[in-house]
Amino acid sequence: MSEASIERLKSKTTLKDILEVATEFERTARDFYAALAPKVQKNLRYLVQELAEEEQRHYDLFTQMAERDDLEQQLQTEVERPVNDHKFSDCIHLPDLGEQPDDQAVLQYALKREHAAMEQYHSLAQSTEPGAIHDLFLYLANEETKHKNELEKVYYETVHSGGV
């Protein structure tokens, strides 16, 4: 994502703009995990592939929302930008984990990303009126919370079993 896009993220506050940034967040995560899957050790490959699939589903949800004619007016609504917005936008910048990424580094990055998404979507759900967009953000906040919890279990098992 370009610096101009990042600046646009910081300056705009409509739901449509937030939806566009969230769509990009999910797309970059999907692409990152898809490219990472063949590079990680077999014990983490399933997890990285699942993350790529989850991010694809989230991307699809955002894309479908943006295309709904019945939400056009709601998408123009201005909302307060979440306090933790910088963490979310920071995650659009992807790390280079190399050709043989360390399990711990992969899990740490995934945890950071899931935590930022969880906080962002929760804040957005709180700042939107009841309706389809509010429900989407609430659903995604819950999804990201589940992902984070699953990753924490794998991280604990990996780090404390001597896997790293």
117 within 8 A of 42, measured Cβ to Cβ: no
The pLDDT tens digits of the residues spanning 75-89 come to: 676 666 665 555 555
The pLDDT tens digits of the residues spanning 5-14 come to: 555 555 456 7
Cβ atoms within 10 Å of 5's Cβ, excluding its own = 13
Give the pTM: 0.74
142 pLDDT exceeds 90?
A: yes
| Per-residue confidence band for 44, with pLDDT thresholds at 50, 70 and 90 | confident
Domain containing 78 equals 3-160
* CATH code of 131's domain: 1.20.1260.10
- Residue 78: C-alpha distances to residues 11, 21, 96, 126, 159 (Å): 12, 15, 35, 13, 43
Averaged pLDDT, 59-73: 84
| Per-residue confidence band for 30, with pLDDT thresholds at 50, 70 and 90 | very high
As for how many domains the chain has, the answer is 1
